[in-house]
Structure 1
Amino acid sequence: MGVSDWRQTLGPYGHHAVDILRAEWYLGLTSFGGPPVHFKIFHDKFVVKLKWIDDQLYQELFSISQALSGPASTKMLYCINLIHDGVLGALIGFLFWSLPGALGMYALSIGVSSIGSTLPRAVYALLSGLNAATVGIIALAAVELSRKAVTDKVTRTLVFLSGAAGLLYNALWYFPVLILASGVVTVVHDKRWLHRPVNATLTAVGFRKRKTAPAEEEGLDPRTHVQLDPLKGAGEFPVGQQPSAAGPSPELRVAERADDGAEERDLAPGARRENEPSRTESEPRVIPREHQLNFSWKTGSAVIALFLTSFVAVMVARGVLAHPPLLYRLFANLYLAGTIIFGGGPVVIPLLREYVVAEGWVSPRDFLIGLALAQAFPGPNFNFAVFLGGLTAANSGLPSAAGAAAAFVGIFFPGMALVQGTMGVWSSLRSRPCVKSAVKGVNASAVGLIYTAVYRIWLVGYLDEGFQSGRSLGDDPWWVVVTTTAYVGGRYYGLSAPVVIILGAALGLVRYGVVSGRG
């Protein structure tokens, strides 16, 4: 069947269907490295190459995907296809994006369920190399995303503070609170609600002097910088410089303009004078027709309401049933995880450990093996749940395919339903100044949390038979070199993420060969 036959078979969606299949299937097979790398790939493909969306809309979708629970990169890809091709196109894109990695993780679960209690040391070296290379490419993606998220001193500060706060504490409620607080901070800053009281406080305690103080000390009028006559009252002019009825003299006007220019030069780039409207307030968002979403806020609200109803029903049944089937308990746990996880793939790892390993369904060692190998699989990191679901079912004598399917639906459905509904509401909110200000803060906070993810993977990336729970990659200089090589290769030599991942695995095997040869 040719391209024209496919388009005719798919009806009104046939015009873009082949493009969707090509784009998402390719992305699903080649997108390694997790959400930070995925976001960069999406920008290069859909903004720069295909021009399905513009850069500003990309930033808006990035904020939506970070502010809602669920898989961040998958939600963003879903939104791009929803705008470009409608609901059917978004669903097709989601399946072709996620299924290649999901099928790979399912196959991995079958293999891990049949291995012994230990692995060859060469395998541990390979897994450590994969983790080290992944840290390097995620760090590179974080740096490149920072360049887009940082637009002024406030967003730069939020990137730093969010990353630092994520390093110091870790809890389920913590990351969404950081993201929400950052959005509030940028709204307050852009509206200048605290500028006057803060400036007044700093002036009162002596941390800031009035700008007119030097002029007053020299006996100059603070506005015109004209010498005042000490024998006359302030505001009087020396002889020969009396103001005319038409206004100030030419000399005074020149001095006034010079003073205004000096004040302008004192302002930081992008800063505004007191009471001056911001750019986001004075320049309304112009949405091109091809980027507009034909999806009403009423429909979006209904989708959100239906999802919340289903969530309550699943949780109530989970608590009421005395002995629910294992597959239902697995589905309910992952449905809950998919609903409360904010921040994307790196955040899902500790929560899945709590909801699967703590239940006794998967051993800690098998969990870490899957975590290391998941970095070598393309697509969303949430596919790791498919591995855990298949392994849970296999360990209990149930069909592994049933466990993988329950995990896939449970972990992905909440985020996709929420983003589908939110896009309808977003279409009526996106041009409001407060919303656009909040978007900046959400972007900055989300990028800061990516640095947190880099640190956490670094702490458990080194695996060996003596410490199967993982150790810091910094414990061995070789892994530091692998991480640095991955970063430099991607940053300065244009190596793609798949090539870097393979290079990391190869370097891990090289280390094993050198160490075993010495022994």
Structure 2
Amino acid sequence: MDQSKKANRLTSIFEVLWVSLKLGLTSFGGPVAHLGYFHDEYVRRKKWLDERSFADLVALCQFLPGPASSQVGIGIGTIRAGLLGGFIAWLGFTLPSVIALVLFALVVKGFDIGNVGWIHGLKIVAVAIVAQAILGMGQKLTPDRKRVTIAIVSATITLIWQTTIAQIALIALAALIGVLLYREKTDVERPELQIPVSRTIGLICLVLFFAILVGLPILRGISTQHWLALFDSFYRSGSLVFGGGHVVLPLLEREMLPTGWVSKENFLSGYGVTQAVPGPLFTFASYLGAINGGILGAAIATFAIFLPAYLLVIGTLPFWNVLRSNPKIQGALTGINSAVVGILLAAFYNPIWTSAIIDPADFALAAILFILLVFWKLPPWVIVIAGAIGGTLTIII
């Protein structure tokens, strides 16, 4: 029996690695698009989570600082295959872009690829992916006029007031409205998930998160080790970011440029290159670490900026079922889920639509990709290839 359990766990771990690696190689378009890819793969295809549990996990990760899409992946990997599964899910999703960006840093630092046709095509792919996510999540999470209203108001506020504080305040307000409107409603369709992490482990991770956040600046002040200063800068940046990958840019800029670790030219060109690779935008840290300290610098920067996300997800997951089974928490999650649909809708317009759909040919390509994805049920990697080819052709023509 023990051998059978070990074999099943090993199979699950390899399955998580394969699926997350495939997502790491094909998930273009930033954190919002990543959630669309995750929804398609983990919910629709693999059925590792139901729609409601996926939405609740997204809502939880929206509350936590760090890269939301990576945290969702870590959470799903942990639920599927334990602590190692969460790490493997992060590794598979992150490693392709880390390798690509380190190579860019070491080999083609000054190469401008911002106007290449296939890059533009990948932006159009993100339009199709996010549109599919909005369609699927909207049908499940906003089935009545109250929730539709929360979603539309959330989208409006997000578009008008584009700050991190606004998004945090919006989610908190949606939670309060959800408690007021839906606290008496019992959600019988919210199944309890088996979380293979004890509460003791969860508490240890939460304590570690705060201990490292407070302790690193103190150690940095009394040490002359460059790698410790580097670790502190990236860990703090990963700990204080709400709202996804793009929000980390000003934090990293304040850490990198005044110290002289990276020049402004290399910083901006690297951020441009980051938009061209799949996977999480937080791997911009891998590029910066490689510019500053080669392979070792890239490893330190990558580990440091993602460590807070891992500790927070593992720390909160053991308490997730208890929180989501509470009627008031269920009401709050109902409001938050509606707001998340609105935030997704706002992000669909800006920056995804505004940066990708420039002329009628772009709109036509986006419509074709959407039809192939939603109605012809083609896998995302086919859509990515088709989008890259289509983007190249629109430039040529």
- What TM-score do the two structures reach when normalised by structure 2? 0.84
Tell me whether 1:491 sits opposite 2:393 in the alignment: no
1:117-171 per-residue CA deviation (whole Å, 9 max, x = no partner) reads xx4xx86344762574255246424533333332333332232233322333344
Partner of residue 173, structure 2: 181
Aligned pair partner of 2:244 in 326, 330, 344: 344
Tell me whether 1:111 sits opposite 2:107 in the alignment: yes
Contact residue 28 and residue 279 of structure 2 kept, 8 A: yes
1:157-206 per-residue CA deviation (whole Å, 9 max, x = no partner) reads 23223332233334443322222221112112224xxxxxxxxxxxxxxx
Contact residue 149 and residue 444 of structure 1 kept, 8 A: yes
Tell me whether 1:124 sits opposite 2:115 in the alignment: yes
Aligned pair partner of 2:59 in 30, 50, 63: 63
Identity, in percent, stands at 29
For the residues of structure 2 that align with 1:427 and 1:45, how far apart are their CA atoms? 23
**1:403–1:50 distance in 2 versus 1, CA, 3 Å:** same
Tell me whether 1:154 sits opposite 2:182 in the alignment: no
Q: Once the 2 structures are TM-superposed, how far is the Cα of residue 344 of structure 1 from its aligned partner?
A: 2.4
For the residues of structure 1 that align with 2:17 and 2:122, how far apart are their CA atoms? 30
Contact residue 36 and residue 133 of structure 2 kept, 8 A: no
**1:56–1:488 distance in 2 versus 1, CA, 3 Å:** same
1:390-425 per-residue CA deviation (whole Å, 9 max, x = no partner) reads 22x1xxxx4x11221122112111011001010012
Aligned pair partner of 2:288 in 376, 388, 409: 388
1:213-362 map, 5 Å:
277-280=184-187, 283=188, 285-287=190-192, 291-318=193-220, 320-321=221-222, 324-357=224-257, 360-362=260-262
SS at match of 1:51: coil
Q: Which amino acid aligns with 2:142?
A: V
SS at match of 2:325: coil
Q: Once the 2 structures are TM-superposed, how far is the Cα of residue 60 of structure 1 from its aligned partner?
A: 1.7
Aligned pair partner of 1:37 in 24, 29, 33: 33
Contact residue 135 and residue 457 of structure 1 kept, 8 A: no
Is there any run of 5+ residues in structure 1 with no aligned partner, and where?
A: 1-6, 192-276, 462-472, 515-519
SS at match of 1:376: coil
For the residues of structure 1 that align with 2:156 and 2:251, how far apart are their CA atoms? 21
**1:142–1:367 distance in 2 versus 1, CA, 3 Å:** farther
Name the stretch that deviates more: 96-105 or 35-44: 35-44
Aligned pair partner of 2:156 in 155, 159, 164: 164
Q: Which amino acid aligns with 2:185?
A: S
For the residues of structure 1 that align with 2:225 and 2:346, how far apart are their CA atoms? 37
Structure having the larger proportion of residues in helix:
2
For the residues of structure 2 that align with 1:76 and 1:126, how far apart are their CA atoms? 31
1:218-243 per-residue CA deviation (whole Å, 9 max, x = no partner) reads xxxxxxxxxxxxxxxxxxxxxxxxxx
For the residues of structure 1 that align with 2:251 and 2:171, how far apart are their CA atoms? 18
1:482-515 per-residue CA deviation (whole Å, 9 max, x = no partner) reads 542453123212265555555555566556656x
Partner of residue 420, structure 1: 314
Q: Which amino acid aligns with 2:206?
A: I
Aligned-pair Cα RMSD in Å: 3.3
**1:134–1:46 distance in 2 versus 1, CA, 3 Å:** closer
Q: Once the 2 structures are TM-superposed, how far is the Cα of residue 17 of structure 1 from its aligned partner?
A: 3.0
SS at match of 1:173: helix
What is the count of residue pairs matched by the alignment? Answer: 390
**1:356–1:176 distance in 2 versus 1, CA, 3 Å:** farther
Q: Once the 2 structures are TM-superposed, how far is the Cα of residue 299 of structure 1 from its aligned partner?
A: 3.3
Partner of residue 481, structure 1: 360
For the residues of structure 2 that align with 1:293 and 1:162, how far apart are their CA atoms? 31
SS at match of 2:115: helix
Q: Once the 2 structures are TM-superposed, how far is the Cα of residue 459 of structure 1 from its aligned partner?
A: 9.6
Q: Once the 2 structures are TM-superposed, how far is the Cα of residue 452 of structure 1 from its aligned partner?
A: 4.2
Partner of residue 264, structure 1: none
Q: Once the 2 structures are TM-superposed, how far is the Cα of residue 338 of structure 1 from its aligned partner?
A: 1.2
SS at match of 2:324: coil
Q: Which amino acid aligns with 1:162?
A: S
For the residues of structure 1 that align with 2:49 and 2:332, how far apart are their CA atoms? 21
Q: Which amino acid aligns with 1:166?
A: T
Partner of residue 44, structure 2: 48
Q: Once the 2 structures are TM-superposed, how far is the Cα of residue 49 of structure 1 from its aligned partner?
A: 2.8
For the residues of structure 2 that align with 1:511 and 1:51, how far apart are their CA atoms? 36
Contact residue 36 and residue 129 of structure 2 kept, 8 A: no
For the residues of structure 2 that align with 1:487 and 1:460, how far apart are their CA atoms? 13
Aligned pair partner of 2:274 in 374, 378, 383: 374
1:17-64 per-residue CA deviation (whole Å, 9 max, x = no partner) reads 332232222222222223333323333333333332222222221212
Contact residue 131 and residue 457 of structure 1 kept, 8 A: no
Contact residue 118 and residue 389 of structure 2 kept, 8 A: no
Contact residue 179 and residue 328 of structure 2 kept, 8 A: yes
Contact residue 387 and residue 404 of structure 1 kept, 8 A: yes
Partner of residue 245, structure 1: none
**1:407–1:162 distance in 2 versus 1, CA, 3 Å:** farther
Is there any run of 5+ residues in structure 2 with no aligned partner, and where?
A: none
**1:146–1:332 distance in 2 versus 1, CA, 3 Å:** farther
Q: Which amino acid aligns with 2:214?
A: V
Q: Once the 2 structures are TM-superposed, how far is the Cα of residue 433 of structure 1 from its aligned partner?
A: 0.8
For the residues of structure 1 that align with 2:247 and 2:345, how far apart are their CA atoms? 12
Larger gyration radius, structure 1 or structure 2: 1
Q: Once the 2 structures are TM-superposed, how far is the Cα of residue 312 of structure 1 from its aligned partner?
A: 0.6
Tell me whether 1:432 sits opposite 2:339 in the alignment: no
Q: Which amino acid aligns with 2:115?
A: Y
Aligned pair partner of 1:88 in 77, 84, 90: 84
- What TM-score do the two structures reach when normalised by structure 1? 0.66
Tell me whether 1:405 sits opposite 2:299 in the alignment: yes
For the residues of structure 1 that align with 2:139 and 2:273, how far apart are their CA atoms? 30
Contact residue 100 and residue 378 of structure 1 kept, 8 A: yes
Partner of residue 3, structure 1: none
Q: Which amino acid aligns with 2:372?
A: Y
1:419-478 per-residue CA deviation (whole Å, 9 max, x = no partner) reads 1010012132221111111112222323333344445536995xxxxxxxxxxx78xxxx
Contact residue 65 and residue 72 of structure 1 kept, 8 A: yes
